[in-house]
Amino acid sequence: IAFPTNKPEREAQHVIKVEYQENGPLFSELKFYQRAAKKECIKKWIELKQLDYLGIPMFYGSGLTEFKGRSYRFMVMERLGIDLQRISDQNGTLKKSTVLQLGIRMLDVLEYIHENEYVHGDIKAANLLLGYKNPDRVYLADYGLSYRYCPIGNHKQYQENPRKGHNGTIEFTSLDAHKGVALSRRSDVEILGYCMLRWLCGKLPWEKNLKDPKAVQTAKTNLLDELPESVLNWAPSGSSCYEIAQFLECAYSLAYDEKPNYQELKKILNPSGIPLGPLEFSTKEEGVNVHTPNNQRVDSRKAATKQVNQMQNRLIGKKVHSERSGESCTTQRKGGKEKTLMGLVNSEAAQESIRRRQKYQDAQELLNVVKPFPQKFSYIQFPNSFYKSHEDFISLDTFNKSRSPSGY
C-alpha cells in the first residue's frame, strides 16, 4: 500500500509521487530510476564498493492514470523522513564533523550515478532526506533535474548557451550551469562544495543577490578564483573551512569531461580514514585548532591569515596569469595535462580547463599554510520530533527553466 507524499499514514512504507503527465522533471526522474537505479544494480554496487548502504531512494514502480479528464504520471517510492533543510533551519549551521560526513555520503551517491551516465544537478539540503526507519542515514532525492551527460559512453561537448543560463537552484548551481553549459560530473562536485560551505557557515557570500543571477555567477567566480583565502576567511570565528577550501579547489581544477577522483575527495573530507559512524546533529562545537608551517598552535583561522597573505604575495610575484600577460594558455603551459586538454574538440573548454588547473596549483601552496588539528565535538541528541515523516517528497523550489518530456 502506498500513500501520497504529502499525506502518508503513520505506518506507511511507500509513498506515491504524482504530477501531470506532461511534467518534465518527473519524467526525467522516472527515466533516471529506470535506467540507472535498479534495485539489483544498487545492490551489486554496494557489494563492490563495500558500503554499508548507498543513499539513493528505492524505486518500486510507475504508471499513468487519468482523473477528471487529466492524465497523470506517478512513481511509487520508498518512504523517507525529514529533509536536511528543516534541520538546518532549526540550527542555522551543522557541526563540522556532520558536514564532512554528509559530503562523503553524497560522494558515494555521485560516484554511482556518474558511473551510470547521469549527473544530479540539484544537490541541496531540501533534497537530502534522512531515512524513515534509519534516521542516521541520508539519501539524495529528487532527480527531476538529473541529466544524462554521457549517453552510450559519448560525453556531451562543452558549449556555452546564454539562453539556457542560470538553470537549477541559483544558490548552489555550478558555473557551467550559469553559462548555459550542459552539466557534467564536475558540476555535481562543485555544487556539493557550495552546499557544505552553506551548512557549515550558515550562509553563502552571494545570498543577498539571488534575484540577480549574473551577480551570483560573478560572486561564485570570484570565490573560486581567490581560493583558498576566500573560503578560509568566510568561516565563522572559531571555525575552519580548510577541508572545504581544498575540496572546492579540486572541483575547480577538473576538466569538463574529466572523471573526479572520488577517493581523493573523500580523503580530503576524512584524512584519517576513520570509518563513518551514524549521523549526529548538534548546535555547537568546540573551537578549531590549526597549525602553521612552524607548528605554532593557534585557535582559529584569523591567526593564519597573515601567513596566507604572505604566501599569496609570493605567488603573485612569481607567476603572471595568461589573462594579464596576453599570452594564450596553450603557449604558457606545456605539461602533459595541458597537451591532453588541448586534444579536446572544443578549444574553449580546453582553455577553461587549463586556467582552472593553473589556479589549482597556485592554491595548493596556500592551502599548505593552514592544516586543521583533530577536533573534538560536543554532541547533543537531535529531538525525536525531527524524525517524523517528511511532509512533501517534492522540492518546492521553482526552477528557472522547466523541461519538457520531449527533450529526453
Q: Which residues of 348-369 are buried (b: 16+ CB within 10 A; e: fewer)?
A: ebbbbbbbbbbbbebbeebbeb
Q: How far apart are CA 271 and CA 280, in angstroms?
A: 19
CA–CA separation, 118 and 34 (whole Å): 12
* Separation of first and last alpha carbons in the chain: 31
Contact 27, 72 (CB under 8 A): no
122 is a catalytic site residue? yes
| Marked catalytic residue, from 83, 122, 188, 257 | 122
Pair 76, 16: CB distance under 8 Å = yes
224 contact partners, CB below 8 Å, separation of at least 6: 175, 230, 248, 252, 359
Q: How far apart are CA 179 and CA 163, in angstroms?
A: 9
Residue 305 and residue 7: Cα distance in Å, rounded?
51
Whole-number Å distance between alpha carbons of 195 and 123: 8
- Positions annotated as catalytic residues are 122
